[in-house]
Amino acid sequence: MMLPYLALAAILFSIGLFGVLTRRNTIGILMSLELMFNAVNINFVTFNKFIWTDGLVGQMFAIFIVVVAAAEAVVGLAIVLLLYRNWQGIDTDHVSVMKW
């Protein structure tokens, strides 16, 4: 019964993950992250619906995540802004100075 939901969440997560790992554009990465968050949210809601039915714990967490994601997006966009200022671009390839 809940398999379609989970499958959706998994697909969504995979897409988000792929985006995070492959996108060069920082904004894109942030967007992909949002996808991953949402996949998680779907899972929470699904599990609350089908497994843990007492109360709305899952939904509550989903809402938390939405809030946190918003805050994270703010921080992320601020970083992106700084990246842009420093490198005149938001390509992640530029941001690899912290290595060996």
Partner 1 sequence: MTEYTFLIPLLPLFAFIMIVFFTRWKEMFSALLSIAMILAAWVMSVVILIETLGRIDEPFQWAYKFVNLPNFVLEIGTLVDPLTAVMLVVVTTVGACVEIYSVGYMHNDPRFSRFFAYLSLFLFSMLGLVVANNFFMIFIFWELVGLTSYLLIGFWFEKKSAADACKKAFITTRVGDLGFLVGLFMIGIYFGTFNYGGVFEIAGSGVIPAGILTAAAIFVFCGAVGKSAQWPLHVWLPDAMEGPTPVSALIHAATMVAAGVYLVARSMPLFVTSAEASLVVAIIGLITSFMAASIGLVQNDIKRILAYSTVSQLGYMIMALGLYGYDTAQGHHSPGFYAGTFHLMTHAFFKGLLFLGAGSVIHAVHTNDIQEMGGLARKMKLTAPTFMIASLSIAGIFPLSGFWSKDEIVAAASHYPIFLIGTLAIAFMTAFYMWRLCFLTFFGEPRDQHRFDHAHESPKNMTYPLVFLAVLSICAGWVGLPWIHKGFATFVYHGEAYEPHANYLLMAISLIVGLSGIYLAYLMYYKKSISADAMAEKFKGLYKLLYNKYYFDEIYQKVVIDPVMAFAGLMWKFDANVIDGAVNGTGWLTIKWSDIKEWFDTWIVDGAVNGCGWVVRQGANILRFMQTGSMQFYALFIAVLVVLFGLYKFEVKFLKIGWPTVTIIFILGVTLLALLTRITQIKFKANRRTDGEE
Give the Cα separation of 80 and 95 in Å (integer): 11
Of 49 and 91, the one with the shorter C-beta distance to partner 1 is 91
Q: Does 86 bind partner 1 (CB under 8 A)?
A: no
Contacting residue, 29, 40, 42, 90, with partner 1 by CB under 8 A: 29
The answer to whether residue 22 forms part of the interface with partner 1 (CB under 8 A) is: yes
Type of residue numbered 21 = L
* Residue 92 binds to partner 1 (criterion: CB under 8 A): yes
Q: Tell me the closest approach of the beta carbon of residue 20 to partner 1, in angstroms.
A: 6
Candidates 40-48, 52-60, 65-73, 87-95 — which segment interacts with partner 1 by CB under 8 A? 87-95
Dig out the tokens for 37 from the structure. Answer: 């968050």
Residue 78 CA: distances (Å) to CA of 13, 30, 31, 55, 90: 24, 12, 14, 37, 12
DSSP 51: T
**Rounded CA separation 79/93 (Å):** 15
Binding partner 1 (rule: CB under 8 A), the pick from 56, 73, 83, 95 is 95
Interacting residue ranges for partner 1, rule: CB under 8 A: 17, 20-23, 29, 92-93, 95-100
